[in-house]
Amino acid sequence: MFWNKEEKPAGDESVTERVAIEAEGFFRSGKMHCAEAVLLAIRNAFRPEVPATVVEVASGFGGGSGTGCLCGAVAGGTMALGLVLPEEKRRVKRLTQDLHHWFKGEYGAVCCRVVLQRNGKACAELTGKVAGKVAELLS
């Protein structure tokens, strides 16, 4: 069952805020990199019936896929969109484009190396913001 946007989240936090906080916390724990943290936080909020081991598919995307290219948080967010909307490929494509455009507008590039040069080691905060944006796009 998918999350119903009509449901009220527990407490005063919105789903977007809770996802952002959770993803940032996963990253800060040192047990996950950005892509894994975004994917798991979105899975927890929108597809909890999917085994948490799904995060393993994101293991190669941290640090710009190990090469400094595409930001791992954006890659994790892209995977998360497909996880939540498996039968809606056109919508996933559009939302992925929206995510990329938003990220580039916020950080000046989607390349991990460039983002880090411009913003310093802001990976934890950036991971939370990307997860929150993905949750917003899904809502």
Closest CA to 84 of 116, 54, 58: 54
Q: Note whether residue 6 is domain-resident.
A: no
Task: Find the domain containing 127 and state its range.
Answer: 15-138
- Number of domains into which the chain is organized: 1
Q: Give the whole-angstrom CA distance, residue 34 versus residue 124.
A: 7
In a domain, 99, yes or no: yes
Q: Is residue 100 part of a domain?
A: yes
pTM of the model: 0.88
Q: Using an 8 Å Cβ cutoff, are 131 and 41 in contact? A: yes
Q: Which of 25, 23, 47, 48 is nearest to 36 (CA)?
A: 23
Please check whether residue 5 lies inside any domain of the structure: no
- Encode the chain (139 residues) as per-residue pLDDT tens digits: 233 334 444 455 799 999 999 999 999 999 999 999 999 999 999 999 999 999 999 999 987 887 778 999 999 999 999 999 999 999 999 999 999 999 999 999 999 989 988 877 789 999 999 999 999 999 8
Locus of tokens 């909307």 = 85
Domain contains 9 = no
Go through the chain and tell me how many residues it has: 139
Let me know if residue 20 belongs to a domain. yes
